[in-house]
Amino acid sequence: MTSKFSLELFPPRTPEGTAKLPAILKRLAATGPEFFSVTYGAGGSEQNGTYDTLMTVVRETGVEAAPHLTCIGSTRSRIAELLAQYREAGVKRIVALRGDLPATAYSPAAPGEFHFANELVAFIRESHGAHFRIEVAAYPELHPQASSVAADFAYFADKVRAGAHAAITQYFFNADAYFDFMERCTRAGITVPVVPGIMPIVNAAQLIRFSAGCGAEIPRWLRLRIDELADDKAALQDFGTDVVARLCEKLIAGGAPSLHFYTLNQAEPTLRLCRALGLGSN
Ligand code: FAD
């Protein structure tokens, strides 16, 4: 049974967030994560933020740090530049994604540029061989823009065939969605580790908004409880820790190779889960 886990951060968006990060990182790093990953935004400033946050992780914790890299709306030369910069900085692992389509005025990529994540994975492999360990996204509850379950799974298989070493899932609250996805992997001969993404329940409004955007289902019973506890922060967090810890226990017992926590740049929600699960040295 796994006791491995990784932690996801986003580049802080305010000077206060930047100032608080080192202390948060130190607390999180003390639990012994396998690596931290740092998201990459579609807009310009957050992209520099990814690199800066990555360097902060390395400097403050010494734990491996993996940048997310999105390809939509970018160019082969820009991606090549970023890969060279990451390699130079000692990065050995990348989370390779298409990225979300901009809400306004999206013009399709120029010929030869990137349309989907499998093309980015192939490009990283062509240009850097096996230097980077490549993680891709997986959607046990279906990507919101997918044309069908079968097509979405076939495209996931394309990313693995293009050279991905592992996958991290979108978060979900129903363990059966993950187990069904894993059965489909087994039937398709896909053997790379697929690590469940775990979202702590911290803030009701934020969770409901995120979930609507990314296609994560909040089961009716859970949504009702969250709604009722929305104004009682402490009660919501206690309840949320129990629910998410039970989900993690099921996933671990069912063979999940590791867990990937969306930390929301906060130490306490993830630390509470680690404590409830007896994970790490906290
Ligand atoms: P893809 O695998 O390319 O799939 C995108 C959609 O296109 C799917 O509907 C798929 O079915 C379809 N598709 C795939 N290939 C083809 C094809 N050849 N022809 C037709 N249709 C196809 N977003 C960010 O902006 N920054 C981040 O840092 C970030 N980190 C993430 C981390 C994780 C673990 C996860 C799960 C998601 C993350 N996202 C991030 C969100 C992600 O960028 C979006 O979900 C995006 O819409 C899809 O990215 P993807 O890499 O899964 O795309």
What's the total number of domains in the chain?
A: 1
Determine the distance separating the centroid of ligand 1 and the alpha carbon of 160, expressed in angstroms.
13
**C-alpha R_g of the chain:** 18
Q: What angle do CA 131, 159, 171 make, to 5 degrees?
A: 100
In this predicted model, what pLDDT tens digit does every residue of 6-42 receive, in sequence order?
Answer: 999 999 999 999 999 999 999 999 999 999 999 998 5
Instruction: Give the long-range contacts of residues 15-19, CB within 8 A, separation 24 or more.
Output: 17/265
Domain that holds residue 160: 5-277
Determine the distance separating the centroid of ligand 1 and the alpha carbon of 244, expressed in angstroms.
24
Place of tokens 């389509």: 101
In this predicted model, what pLDDT tens digit does every residue of 192-249 receive, in sequence order?
Answer: 999 999 999 999 999 999 999 999 999 999 999 999 999 999 999 999 999 999 999 9
| 50, part of any domain | yes
**Confidence (pLDDT) at 100:** 84
Residues with CB under 6 A from ligand 1: 39-42, 68, 70, 95, 97-100, 116-118, 137, 143, 145-146, 151-152, 155, 159, 168, 170, 197
| 204, part of any domain | yes
Question: What's the CATH number where 120 sits?
Answer: 3.20.20.220
In this predicted model, what pLDDT tens digit does every residue of 255-279 receive, in sequence order?
Answer: 999 999 999 999 999 999 999 999 9
pTM of the model: 0.96
Q: What angle do CA 62, 65, 67 make, to 5 degrees?
A: 160
| 282, part of any domain | no
Determine the distance separating the centroid of ligand 1 and the alpha carbon of 98, expressed in angstroms.
5
Distance (Å, whole) CA 110 – CA 222: 44
Atom 52 in ligand 1: which residue has the minimum CA distance?
A: 137
**Confidence (pLDDT) at 221:** 98
249 is catalytic: no
On the 0-12 / 13-18 / 19+ scale of CB atoms within 10 A, 18 is middle
Looking at every residue in the chain, the average pLDDT score rounds to 94
Give the atom of ligand 1 at the shortest distance from the alpha carbon of 138: 36
Which residue from 116, 147, 184 has its CB within 8 A of the most atoms of ligand 1, so it is best to mutate? 116
Evaluate if residue 105 carries a pLDDT over 60. Answer: no
Determine the distance separating the centroid of ligand 1 and the alpha carbon of 278, expressed in angstroms.
32
| 77, part of any domain | yes
